Amino acid sequence: MEELARPGDRHLSRRGLLKSSLVVGLGATGLAAASTALTGGVARATNAAAYALTDKDITVAFTVQTAWRYCVKCRNIYYSPEGGEYCAAGGTHTTTSQTIYEIPDEAPDYNVASGSSSLLQEPWRWCKNCSCLFWGNGESSSWCAAMPKTGNQNHDGSSSGVYYMLYDSWTGITSLQPNWRYCYNCKDLYFGGDWSSSVCYFQLASGEGINNNNGMNGEGHAPGDTVYYAFT
């Protein structure tokens, strides 16, 4: 996993988090049902339960935020109730599928130190400007498609809670879709199965030109190695 630091054998027990400083800012991520307003610094939507099985046959329960969608133009995942009017491919994010994606927004009671290779990674964040999910620790070097309006190159995760992405050896009890990828240029999460037709705002705005590592004849995302899963 070259593009992002591995969390390694990190204890993600909710009880452990509640006893540590890591819980700061996470308490608000238990989101109120049926709300689509920004309250308490978190993008809100109906939450649901989802389940996945580790490679050690341990069932893990997740609290997931619904209403995430797939944009058929830029190939990113975006949060549909809040914004979505700024797509790297131009205009608004567009979906042609009825599929609703779900992203974990609370730390599950799961200990990765048990020897499992089924891992979790955080902090992923929601950008309040372009509505995409991006790698939170890369915000200062990220590229946001809303830049022409905001004047800010970077994504803005200031109104987001912490999101958790599954990677490596998970099996869906609730349906899991694999092959989501991290773009190491714009920092967005996009669907790797459509890499060749993806559109990356970094490539468009930076003038880097054609790069053999990018889809869309040089205008697409630069794929990281890690395969992530999204609940559906």
Q: pTM of this prediction?
A: 0.79
| CA 111, 163, 16, 9 torsion-angle sign | positive
Cα–Cα distance, 218 to 197 (Å, whole number): 10
Q: How far is CA 45 from the centre of its chain?
A: 15
pLDDT at site 97: 83
pLDDT in tens, the chain (232 residues): 334 433 332 323 232 222 222 222 222 222 222 223 333 334 455 799 999 999 999 999 999 999 999 999 999 999 999 877 899 999 999 998 889 999 999 999 887 767 789 999 999 999 999 999 999 999 999 999 999 999 999 999 999 999 999 999 999 998 999 999 999 899 999 998 887 889 999 988 887 655 556 665 568 898 788 999 999 9
Give backbone dihedrals phi and psi of 203, rounded to 5 degrees, phi first. -65, -40
pLDDT at position 214: 64
- Nearest of 196, 200, 187 to residue 145 by alpha carbon: 200
Q: Which two tokens stand for residue 144?
A: 């946001």
